[in-house]
Amino acid sequence: MLGMHGSAYANLAMQNADVIIALGARFDDRVTGKVDAFAPAARAAAEQKRGGIIHFEIQPKNINKVVDASIAILGDVTHNLGALVPLIKPSPRETWFQEIKEWKTKYPFVYDKSEPGKTKMKPQEVIKELDVQTKDIKHDIILSTGVGQHQMWAAQFFRWRSPRSMVTSGGLGTMGFGLPGAIGAKVAAPNKTVIDIDGDASFSMTAMELATAAQFGIGVKVLVLNNEYQGMVEQWQDLFYEKRYSHTQMKNPDFVKLAQAMGAHAIRCSSTDELPEKMREFLEYDNNKPVLLECVVSNREHVFPMVVAGKALHEQLLHPKLSEATKQS
């Protein structure tokens, strides 16, 4: 994943690539970072007539709207990309692949792990457990998300195996999207296991739709990471507004009782010790009935890496562990 909370290695690859092929990309600010400092290697390669930014786009208004393309190709990407393929000549790529591999090793996704019996579960641990327990059925899974930190962690720590298997509000950023999105996906693909990874604040926006799922027998699985905060907003207040927290703490209902009142099966998990068992119950529950798993997780967790507003992709804010390791290397 690229951009504000994307992987460090993806951002570095974008900044160092000689050629960028953009298929219908909007080049929004979450992807580009500081526009003037976006893709410097590709811009330099364009000046030297050996590379650049090639933008395939169907809407004329999006071409050169944010990022100036070296070459813009208007029309249906299926047809136009097919016309490009015969023109491509193979060239050695081992050095480039090795460079990306080294970035992956140097800048992995990291987080502070919980201490069993001492600290609450980390939200990242929950998603990693989901990833482990679904490793053999990835081709049969569709994930939706709400909007917030949980959305970023889902993209970072769940290992994707199939295209078009993540349903998320990535452009509009609509809190509350996760559950309705999951319901729609389950209706469209009833034989798939459809899981909504949600945060407590985002889930609360449309939680009543769980009653719709129960009424019509739509077997969505809702995983709520409950940290009692609007975490993404709190992260900005913590990092950039001198910890002046305002209107970000949630006073939540009992999500288990709420789900049960709406006709759904509900489970609560409060520790890493019981996480594998509770996750198994959640995943094995009747695929034709809605189920909710509330995981009580630690608050004040931050999503890293982070490209701060006004900074370039390669100027990302790393997790403190990586920042310290980078200084020592």
**Cβ-based neighbours of 45, under 8 Å, separated by 6 or more:** 18, 19, 51, 52
- Note the pLDDT of residue 329: 43
Q: Which two tokens stand for residue 194?
A: 């459809």
Q: What percent of the chain is modeled with pLDDT above 90?
A: 84
pLDDT digits (tens, 9 = 90+) for 68-106: 999 999 999 999 999 888 988 888 999 999 999 999 999
Report d(CA 256, CA 149) in Å as an integer: 22
Residue ranges of alpha helices (H) inside 33-148 are: 40-47, 77-84, 94-106, 123-133
Fold for 123-296, please state it: Rossmann fold (3.40.50)
pLDDT in tens, 28-83: 988 999 999 999 999 999 999 999 999 999 999 999 999 999 999 999 999 999 98
E runs forming strands in the chain: 19-23, 52-57, 71-74, 141-145, 166-167, 193-199, 221-226, 265-269, 291-296
How crowded is the C-beta side of 130, counted as CA atoms within 13 Å?
A: 30
Contact (Cβ atoms closer than 8 angstroms) between residue 33 and residue 313: yes
Give the architecture-level CATH label for domain 8-106. 3-Layer(aba) Sandwich (3.40)
CA distances from 265 to 211, 233, 256 (A): 11, 31, 8
Cα–Cα distance measured from residue 34 to residue 314, given in angstroms and rounded to the nearest whole number: 10
What local confidence, expressed as pLDDT, does residue 170 receive? 87
User: Is 123-296 in the same CATH topology as 8-106?
Assistant: yes
Does 276 sit behind a cis peptide bond, omega within 30 degrees of 0 on the bond before it? no
Domain boundaries, the chain: 8-106, 123-296
Residue pair 198/183 in contact by the 8 Å Cβ criterion = no
pTM for the full predicted model: 0.92
Q: Tell which wins on pLDDT, 23 or 87.
A: 23
Query: Using one digit for the tens of pLDDT, what is the confidence trace for 148-161?
Result: 999 999 999 999 88
CA distance 77 to 75: 6
For the chain, the straight-line distance linking the first and the last C-alpha, in angstroms and rounded, comes to: 25
